[in-house]
Chains A and B, each alone.
Chain A
Amino acid sequence: MTVKDKLPVLTFPNAPKDASSARAKPDQLALAIAALRGALEREAQTTAPPKSEAETDTPDSYSPVGEPRAWRDTPVPATTISTPPQKDKDALSRRITALYLPHFAMERWDRWAKQRGTESPADLPTALVCEGTHGPVIYATNRAADIAGVHKGARVVDMRALVPNLRVEFADIGGDGAALQKLSLWMRRWCPWTACDGPAGIVMDTTGSDHLFGGEPAMLRDIEERLAHLGLSAQLACAPTHGAAWALARRGGVRETCDAQQLMLRVSSLPVQSLRIDGPTVQLLGRLGLKAIGDLAAVPRISLARRFSRAPIAQNPLVRLDQMMGRLAEPMNAADDPPRFAVQARLPEAVQDPTHHLPALCVELCAQLETAGFGARRICVTVYRTDGEVSQISAATAQASRDPDHLRRLFDDKLEKIDPGFGFDLITLAATVVENMQITQNRLDGKEPTGAALAQMIDRLSARLGAKVVTRPHPHPSHIPERAEVWASALHAKPAPPMARVARPLKIFDHPEEVRVLYAVPEGPPAQFVWRKITYRVVRFAGPERIAPEWWKDMPGTRLRDYYHVENQTSQRLWLYREGVLGDDRGATPRWFVHGVFA
């Protein structure tokens, strides 16, 4: 591991979010941003405050939305009807890389079939199908089928007539989506922000990441090569906006890069299909004689805005054009924010065990944390596997910590649980949750301040045995004995001091154990009881202590409890209770239970 080949941030989300909402969100977000900016701008115009340089707030280095500062100063129209703002060079300062995996489904099926030994020979036309309105339709094809004339969206019966020896298999669309999601996380080895982009695309914000790989052309070549190792063919392009990168990846040259100056020139010759608009809108534009993006850009903006004022974003060529040209912001909807503190080790060849690389990573991460004055509450190790997936393990701490030795020890027995696949060549250690941490002075006698060692012990126990297993009781205002103490993970806050003390047993059973009882009077104490098949005689007793059910919490019909502190002939002291009393109209004869053991 060297210092220079280091990405700023890499991440892996804790919980993959819902894919459908992720796809719906960015468009709505873009429109909302545009509307908000327009409103703000209008307000600023009406009040017209003299804006000085000092009033503009200082740029913060870390923006959770991943939006460069330039966007904030870019004037954006309130509605699409207003005139286009002047093109700002800074608005086009981002570098977005779009990936298009044209044969993703087929290649994935191929790999799966190879594992089972059922793959098709290269010259056998093969197609994956999904259910359509009138029977199965073609979803993906292999090269032989392409040549034979099988095309996507066609009905299988028609294609069978055309190609009688067509092999038909069912497509796994959900699996493809999940695999693409995993792949998009794996793509974070090149940049911190990646997201799925439609059913066969990935979009990456590579602003400022390319120099780590020797410039954009070299980075794109590297990406293509690594994807080829995974058996995936990809088309890539890098452009200042998402829209332009999307268009160039699908309809541009091989590994095309396009800078802000050439943007208009380059995209004007592309067909309007490159605008990420749906079929009917393309058809409509065709009828209007607008075949290329250049034609569309030449049309007066006001007429386009009038024509498409109410269209949703997928049918609105004007909004799509603005997005492509950088006049309208388009935030990337990554599954997870990149962590602020992360270090990585790039290995020359794939290994299976990250143990030896961890100490150096911990030292490096703790140095980062110390510089910023933070301590880690949750850290995670992520490995980027050679088979295009990532796997991760994490550990939590009870108190913010930046002690490298301690952080490393939290992973002592956990690293075995990481799934290395066929090896990995990139390890990331990230502090996903951090807290402000003051430097504490050791005591005068040289000992560490109290509490630190305890927190570290809780961390180690929770890291190895699980956070649910290491618990502390928290007092809870309830008279029902089992509710008076709530057990919560020791990683959380310290418990409050216990409540007023009453006669209670040393230990109680999680589930009270039923006993058979002989008594003199039904409302009185037991005279003899059989517990765990042994008969005990009651020698002395104290009670009853009556505890009524909590009507605001319990089911109707819950019976009260009469507790007895009982000593039997073997000098055991037990806590028995009778559930209910005879004739309380809440059940038959009351049952007896042993609930606890006294000293």
Chain B
Amino acid sequence: MQCPSRPVTSTPQRLRNPAQHATLSEIFSAKVTDGAGIGFALAHLSKTDKPLLWVQDRVSRRETGRPYLAGFPVPLSIIHVDVSRPADLLWAMEEGLRCGDLCGVIGEIWGDPPALDFTATKRLALRSEAQGVPAWLIRHAGHANLSAARLRWRIDGLPAMNHPYDAHAPGQPLWRAELFRARWQAPGEWVARHDGDTLHLEHGVEHPPLATKVV
């Protein structure tokens, strides 16, 4: 699977190690029910003792489900917070970012609530950078409006790689990762995959999947 790159950029080295550059990233998806955005965010995390703070608003939870630990790419422990108001969600994320004993903070927010403005995202970004804890804001059904997030991604699913043992089965997932705004580098577009340890951002995958047929 080849992915056109615009403009042509090198593989973003800084993005490979998010722990050193912990910051706030926003992730948008074309489809609400797509798990690609969550998978992409989780792919940044490596195995650690520190828990992950996962904040969801009620609509996101109802529409996209709640995290299921057994399916995580790396074994993690999570603290889940279920809130109903966007203001509470942002407050909970901020409280989490105040504490350095977390490996990351994921917030799933629905739509474009007024509480999620430039100030709120800037607060999150500054806290995240000060504490060294990466934060992801998953914007379900949201628009890329004004925001202080340092990295803004559009993540969509691509047909998965071939399963090594089963030609009919989907294998390792692939995502189309479009970085449309970044603070430290030029935007670009990659094919992203997680091979069990690290996240790889490439312009093309080594083994393109075989021609699929309808079952």
Contacts and interface: CB of A to CB of B under 8 A. Distances in A.
Nearest to B98: A457
B31 A506 contact: no
Main secondary structure of the interface of A (DSSP, over half): mixed
A532 B157 contact: no
B134 to A, nearest CB: 16
Contacts of A182: none
Interface stretch (B15-23, B62-70, B116-124, B141-149): B62-70
Contacts of B112: none
Interface in A526-560: 527, 531-532, 537-542
A508 B170 contact: no
B92 A506 contact: no
Interface string A567-583: 10011111000000000
Contacts of B95: 457, 460-461
Contact of A540 (B72, B102, B160): B160
A473 B80 contact: yes
Given A502-B70, A507-B67, A542 B77 contact: no
A461 B92 contact: yes
Contacts of B88: 464-465
Nearest to B35: A597
Contacts of A385: none
B13 interface: no
Nearest to A528: B214
Contact of A565 (B61, B96, B99, B169): B169
A598 B71 contact: yes
A471 interface: yes
Contacts of A464: 88, 91
A42 to B, nearest CB: 59
Contacts of B78: 472-473
A540 B68 contact: no
Shortest 6 CB-CB distances between A and B: which pairs? Answer: A599-B39, A542-B169, A507-B65, A571-B157, A504-B71, A597-B35
Contacts of A565: 169-170
B59 interface: no
Given A498-B70, A509-B65, 11 more contacts: A465-B92, A473-B69, A504-B68, A508-B68, A527-B215, A532-B33, A539-B159, A573-B160, A597-B33, A598-B173, A599-B39
B215 A525 contact: yes
Contacts of B40: 599
Interface of B: 31, 33-36, 38-40, 42-43, 51, 53, 61-62, 64-73, 75, 77-83, 88, 91-92, 95-96, 98-102, 156-160, 163, 166, 168-170, 173, 175, 194, 212, 214-215
18 contacts: A453-B100, A461-B92, A465-B81, A469-B83, A473-B69, A481-B68, A498-B77, A501-B70, A505-B65, A520-B215, A539-B214, A541-B168, A542-B166, A572-B34, A598-B35, A598-B173, A599-B39, A599-B73
A250 B31 CA distance: 78
Interface in A489-508: 490, 494-495, 497-499, 501-508
Contacts of B100: 453
Nearest to A599: B39
A135 interface: no
A509 B82 CA distance: 14
Given A473-B69, A507-B67, A508-B68, A571 B215 contact: no
A513 to B, nearest CB: 10
Contacts of A465: 81, 83, 88, 92
Given A502-B70, A567-B160, A469 B81 contact: yes
B51 A485 contact: no
Contacts of A392: none
A539 B158 CA distance: 12
B168 A506 contact: no
A314 to B, nearest CB: 53
B209 to A, nearest CB: 9
B159 A599 contact: no
Contact of B79 (A472, A502, A503, A532): A472
B168 A505 contact: no
A36 interface: no
